[in-house]
Amino acid sequence: MSQVIGKPINRVDGRDKVTGKAKYAAEFQVPDLAYGYVVSGTITKGKITRIDTSEALRLDGVLQVFTHENRPKLAWFDISYKDQDAPPGSPFRPLQDATIKYSGQPIALVVAETFEVARYAASLIRVEYKEESHETSLEANLHRARPQKHGVADLLKPPPPKPRGDFNKVYEESPVKMYGRYIHAAEHHNPMELFASTVVYEKGGKEPKLTIYDKTQGVTNSILYVSQVFDIPFKNIRVLSPYMGGGFGSGLRPQYQLFMAVMASLELKRSVRVTLTRQQMFTFGHRPATVQNVALSATADGAMNALYHDARGETSRFEDYTEIVTNWGGMIYPPENVTQDYKLVPLDVYTPLDMRAPGGVTGMSALEIAVDELAYELGMDPLELRLKNYTDLDHNTKKPFSSKELRECFRQGAERFGWSKRQFEPRSMKKGHNLIGWGMATGIWEANQMPARAEAALLVNGKLWVSSATADIGTGTYTIMTQIAADTLGVPVEDVLFKLGDTDFPVAPISGGSWTAATVGMAVHSACEAVGKSLLGLAKKLSGSPFKGAKWDDIEFADKQLRLKSDPSTAVSLQTLVDLNGGKAVRETSTGLPNALKQKDYARATHSAAFVEVMVDEELGTVKVTRAVSAIAAGRILNPKTARSQILGGMVWGISKALHEESILDHNIGRFMNHNLAEYHVSVNADIHDLDVIFVEEDDTIVNPLGIKGLGEIGIVAMPAAIANAIFHATGKRVRDLPITLDRLL
Amino acid sequence: MTLIAEAPPKDTYIPSLPPIHTVTLTVNGIEAQLQLAPWTSLLDALREYMDMTGTKKGCDHGQCGACTVLVDGKRINSCLTLAIMQEGKQITTIEGVAQMATDAPSGLHPIQKAFIDCDAFQCGYCTPGQICSAVGLLNEGQAKTTADVRELMSGNICRCGAYTNIVQAIEEVINQQAV
């Protein structure tokens, strides 16, 4: 195997993306399409006392205005509204009743013949409210923090382990210690593509049939939601999402435009498209604001002996969104006196939602700034401190890592960056009126694999078609699955077509948590192997077959042939074999399952080390990340080109989180004020300078036989802390809150 | 407390809509006649009335650059102009950029090809705008340094963070042209 896995081939969907042919959810044209436009509420908490749609309805071209007063009857129980990423609680139901739960809540849908008329009509809806007082400030409500409610979500997001040792005593008695409080702003995912659903209504049959193009990170999740909420059997719904213009977690739950579009389509018996505005992209899940406390202590030689990490995260009043914020310290550092704690503060906001490295980048940003602070308390190089406290054990579970090449990340990253030339003292590396600072940090993320299914078919023309209902949200799924399929059956990538994002394909979970490469990769591998086994069966039927006594382990696939490992010249072409199949494709569906037995004795994670240089203008307080090196240990790299892009993207996100991103709540009105891309700052081209990615070698057959760990999150995790630490090194000013805007530096 | 967000109108007049106009647009060299309300943006005209969905809507407010097209060779945000204002102009979208300059074997514009080779995108949604913007940047001839390219491409947000590769792709084409 392995002709093309590991090669930096171009994205197989590249041509479609650079020519405009790639179609996203709002781009499927269907005859007789009606346009929906969502009306957003203007208060944060209370009730709608009157909603007057009469003027809008009188407008020529308006088909209907849906509100809580005239919406159709829908599923009654909460369970019907639960999606694959639903936290414990009661999911938000659009247009349920007159109650307003958060600012920007959708309160009506105008449907019209054109987008322009729908948009105008939306401005004609008059609403009166009875307002109630609200609470949106995390910091003002910390006294209300309580433990998370428990549910199925705990499986993936376990609460922190129980305290061990005696933190208070050891911390008290230690010669060197630090304590810090870290406050992070809320953030919104803001993928470039607006959330949209195009629902195609099929007329004629007894029951309505819907084909739905949805912006989602999992078509299976969308079909489940639509089927349950609207009581339509699966056979009458098909959800497609061949391309998704960025997810970052925002598409892990069905968003309300899907509900709106389906509802309108069923009621009007017409095809309907609903696209949210950029402002409305701030009216569903977000990365929660958090307040964290970290305290660390060490012996005089730098051995860490006590660790305290707590976090308070916001959630909504109706669901308990949780993430793993405080467990990481116990996974990467060895002190035996550890207290980790995590609590939630319910507020009048929408339920937060997983956003790139949810919890991980939050917790590690605080922890890794804290470790830098401890290094300065010790007078010790920050990298040396991390090496001093290096461990191959996850100390939360006492399990060894299935693989952990973090030491190599430190070594290669430091060498590439030139860390050994660093001067320890802050403000020691001035350049004109600019202060130069070097900082570093560690990153960690879980290496998970879920069950998934895939189908592989060797067609009569010798082409290999493979499919799974997974997603490519820019991550490169199309390309790496093509590579895995090509290598498993020894065919060139040009002969492989991998298809995804369609509920007609075998089921796959939502694409998130860095698990898609391993999850779908193993399903594709397994389906192709099943085809291979059928091909071996056919090979045995050849007259005078040299494969008669051959077992699966005796053969291999290469150069479009099935051949004996012991004698590669004994070979038969795949075309010959498929010709024996009676004019039919050789088709198999198979499930990729994580090997729990093999995995259970190990902790599984990706690791990273980020090294960053910043330049801070002493007079203006402006910060520029002039260069950064990320060294990544993430198992086998399937495609170094797309993998590098994914890590570069994570690094850009790290810069953006550290310096720019902040959804600013006005607590008087309870609304995110900067709900647009002019005022919600994300990194632009001019913010990004010299970025360098290193993949260190890491072999791991415990995670899965292909050695895949996943790359979606690990690129961001270490970056914000490395930047904050570099800013301290440059300026001598320790900023613990993110983002580090210039007002925090002056 | 009762809050009246917006006062209801005193009378119950029937709101009127602006009259539909025949608008003639020349997109990628092809002339098309459309029946449009005058408040239809060029972006919506392309996407919803001409089925040319290569041009993307990311904010509809001129803040993200996803809708960048070329009008008489200059890059503009198509969400910030009305379709009716662009009559008589040569509009080039992502579907037509390869007509402006073509890399022979691939049939793509050199910028498109460089974007593929440099992996200058991930989700692909900002990509048409980035490419049209890059073509506009080449036409302007202002970008002399890497810092210039970064600055002059900063009107196009890429949330996937492909900036490093976008700059590399554009510089490769600039260098080819300089030879």
Angle between helices A719-731 and A640-659 (to 10 degrees): 50
Q: How far is B171 from chain A (nearest CA, A)?
A: 14
Q: How far is A438 from chain B (nearest CA, A)?
A: 21
Reply yes or no on whether the pLDDT at A76 is more than 90.
no
Express each pLDDT in A566-607 by its tens digit.
Answer: 999 999 999 999 999 999 999 999 999 999 999 999 999 999
Express each pLDDT in A372-385 by its tens digit.
Answer: 999 999 999 999 99
Tokens (6 digits) for B104: 């022979």
DSSP states along A204-248: SSSS-EEEEEE--S-HHHHHHHHHHHHT--GGGEEEE-S--S--T
Give the distance, in angstroms, between the CA of residue A703 and the centroid of all CA atoms in the same chain: 20
Of A469-478, A501-510, B1-10, B140-149, where does mean pLDDT reach its minimum? B1-10
Reply yes or no on whether the pLDDT at A745 is more than 80.
yes
Express each pLDDT in A41-61 by its tens digit.
Answer: 999 999 999 999 999 999 999
Reply yes or no on whether the pLDDT at B1 is more than 50.
no
- In percent, the amount of chain A with pLDDT more than 90 equals 96
Express each pLDDT in A179-209 by its tens digit.
Answer: 999 999 999 999 999 999 999 999 877 889 9
* E strand or H helix at A343: strand A337-347
Reply yes or no on whether the pLDDT at A314 is more than 70.
yes
Average pLDDT value for chain B = 93
Express each pLDDT in B91-110 by its tens digit.
Answer: 999 999 999 888 888 899 99
DSSP states along A282-339: GSS--BPPEEEEEEEEE-TTS-EEEEEEEEEEEEESSB------SSHHHHH---SEEE
- Determine the Cα angle at A440 with ends A438 and A444, to 5°: 165
Distances (CA, A) of A253 to A257, A354, A427: 11, 9, 46
Catalytic residues of A: 713
CB contact under 8 Å between A648 and B44, yes or no, is no
CA dihedral for B33, B36, B42, B43, sign (positive or negative): negative
Three-state DSSP state, A52: strand
Three-state DSSP state, B97: helix
Express each pLDDT in A347-404 by its tens digit.
Answer: 999 999 999 999 999 999 999 999 999 999 999 999 999 999 999 999 999 999 999 9
Reply yes or no on whether the pLDDT at B69 is more than 90.
yes
How many contacts does A have with B, using Cβ atoms within 8 A?
A: 217
From the list B59, B93, B166, which residue is nearest A278 (CB)? Answer: B59
pLDDT for position B179 = 66
The β-bridge relationship of strands A434-446 and A452-458 is: unpaired
Average pLDDT value for chain A = 97
Residue A30: closest CA among chain B residues belongs to which residue?
A: B51
Q: Is residue A263 within 8 Å of residue A529, measured between CB atoms?
A: no
> Which domains, and CATH codes, for chain A?
25-133+191-277 (3.90.1170.50), 140-188+286-448+600-744 (3.30.365.10), 450-593 (3.30.365.10)
Reply yes or no on whether the pLDDT at B12 is more than 70.
no
pLDDT for position A204 = 78
Residue recorded with tokens 């489940």: A224
From the list B6, B15, B157, which residue is nearest A127 (CB)? Answer: B6
Does A651 contact B at CB distance below 8 Å?
A: yes
Mean pLDDT of the region A271-292 = 98
Q: Is residue A442 within 8 Å of residue A719, measured between CB atoms?
A: no
- For residue B63, which residues of chain A lie inside 8 Å, CB to CB? 278, 676-678
The β-bridge relationship of strands A496-499 and A555-558 is: unpaired
Does A131 contact B at CB distance below 8 Å?
A: yes
Q: Which residues contact B105 (CB under 8 A, 6 or more apart)?
A: none
Mean pLDDT of the region A491-515 = 97
Q: B117-147 b/e with 16+ CB inside 10 Å = b? A: bbbbbbbbbbbbbbbbbbbbbbeeeebeeee
Q: How confident is the model at residue A150 (pLDDT cuts 50, 70, 90)?
A: confident
Residue of A685, A689, A690, A713 to mutate for B, most B C-beta atoms under 10 A = A685
Mean pLDDT of the region A417-436 = 95
From the list A54, A474, A684, which residue is nearest B124 (CB)? Answer: A474
Does A684 contact B at CB distance below 8 Å?
A: yes
Reply yes or no on whether the pLDDT at A312 is more than 80.
yes
Express each pLDDT in A718-737 by its tens digit.
Answer: 999 999 999 999 999 999 99
- For residue B160, which residues of chain A lie inside 8 Å, CB to CB? 192, 246, 474, 645, 649
- For residue B147, which residues of chain A lie inside 8 Å, CB to CB? 686
Q: What are residue A434's phi and psi, to 5 degrees?
A: -100, 140
Mean pLDDT of the region A540-552 = 94
Nearest to A395 by CA among A518, A309, A311: A309
Fold of the domain built from segment(s) B101-178: DNA polymerase; domain 1 (1.10.150)
- Give start-end residues of each CATH 3.10.20.30 domain in chain B: 21-92
Residues written for chain B = 179
Mean pLDDT of the region A152-179 = 93
Does A650 contact B at CB distance below 8 Å?
A: yes
Residue recorded with tokens 């009048």: A348
Q: In DSSP terms, which residues pair with A126 in a beta bridge? A: A52
pTM beyond 0.95, yes or no? yes
Reply yes or no on whether the pLDDT at A467 is more than 90.
yes
Reply yes or no on whether the pLDDT at B5 is more than 70.
no
- Give start-end residues of each CATH 1.10.150.120 domain in chain B: 101-178
The β-bridge relationship of strands A209-214 and A196-202 is: antiparallel
- In percent, the amount of chain A with pLDDT more than 70 equals 100
For residue A74, the one-letter residue type is: L
CB atoms within 10 A of CB A379: 10
Q: Is residue A289 within 8 Å of residue A321, measured between CB atoms?
A: no
From the list A22, A49, A131, which residue is nearest B124 (CB)? Answer: A22
Give the distance, in angstroms, between the CA of residue A391 and the centroid of all CA atoms in the same chain: 27
- Integer Cα distance of A342 and A326 in angstroms: 7
pLDDT for position B11 = 58
Give the distance, in angstroms, between the CA of residue A538 and the centroid of all CA atoms in the same chain: 42
Give the distance, in angstroms, between the CA of residue A60 and the centroid of all CA atoms in the same chain: 43
Residue recorded with tokens 């989700």: B123
CB atoms within 10 A of CB A52: 18
Architecture of domain B21-92: Roll (3.10)
- Integer Cα distance of A602 and A46 in angstroms: 50
Three-state DSSP state, A384: helix
- Integer Cα distance of A650 and B159 in angstroms: 10
